[in-house]
Amino acid sequence: MTDTASSPRRSWLKPALLVSLALNLFLVGLIGGQVLSEPDETVKRAQASRGYSLHPRTMMEALPEDRHDDIRAYWAEAHKGMGQEWRKINTIRREVDAALRARPFDATALREAQRREVEARAALRLRQNDDIAGFLETLSDEDRKAVADLALARLDKQTAYWRERARKRREAEKQ
C-alpha cells in the first residue's frame, strides 16, 4: 500500500522539473540575447550625436572630473521649475489633440493651439539658453573652448551620419 500512495506524489515531480528547466532556459536565453545582440536602429539613433549642443552632458564630457560637481549643481538649480513648464506644455498639447478631434473640425482653433505650444516650448528653450550662457560665463576660456570643440565635433559627426544615411537611401532607390 505504501508503494501506491507514493507513486501519485512523484507523478507531478517530473513535469514540474521540466517546466522549471524550460522556464530557466527561456530566461537565460532572453537575457543572453539582450546582452549579446546588436542594438537596433532606434538604440543606435539614441546613442548617436545630437549635434551642436551645450547641454550639461556635453559639458561634463568635455571638462575634467573636478568640474563635474559644479555642472551638476548648476543643472540642479537650472532644472527647478521645469516640471511645471513641461506640464503647461503638455496641457497645451492636449488642447491641440482636442482641436484635432473636434467635430466639426476648426482649423483656426488647431492652429491657435499649435501656436501656443510652439511659443511655450520657445519660452522654455530661451530660459534654458539663458541659464546655460550664465553658467558658461563662469568657465575659463580654455573650458569654454573644450566645450565648443566637443559640441562642434558632435555636429560634424551628426552631419556625416545624416549624409551617409541619405546616400544609402539614394542608392537603395536606384536599385
At residue 41 the predicted structure's pLDDT band, cuts being 50, 70 and 90, is low
Question: Which helix (DSSP H) or strand (DSSP E) does residue 73 occupy?
Answer: helix 68-79
CA atoms within 13 A on the CB side of 8: 4
Summarised one tens digit per residue, pLDDT across range 139-149 is 999 999 999 99
**Cell of residue 119, nine digits:** 511659443
CA–CA separation, 106 and 101 (whole Å) = 9
C-alpha cell at 18: 521540466
Higher pLDDT, 38 or 128: 128
pLDDT: is 30 or 8 the higher one?
30
In angstroms, the CA 139 to CA 136 distance is 5
- Name the percent of the chain lying above pLDDT 90: 52
Residue 40 scores a pLDDT above 80: no
Q: How is the chain split among helix, strand and coil, in percent rounded to 5?
A: 85, 0, 15
Tens-place pLDDT, residues 112-140: 999 999 999 999 999 999 999 999 999 99
- Mean pLDDT for 81-108 is 93
* pLDDT for the residue numbered 8: 55
Say what the pLDDT of residue 45 is. 54
Instruction: Count CB atoms within 10 A of the CB of residue 147.
Output: 21
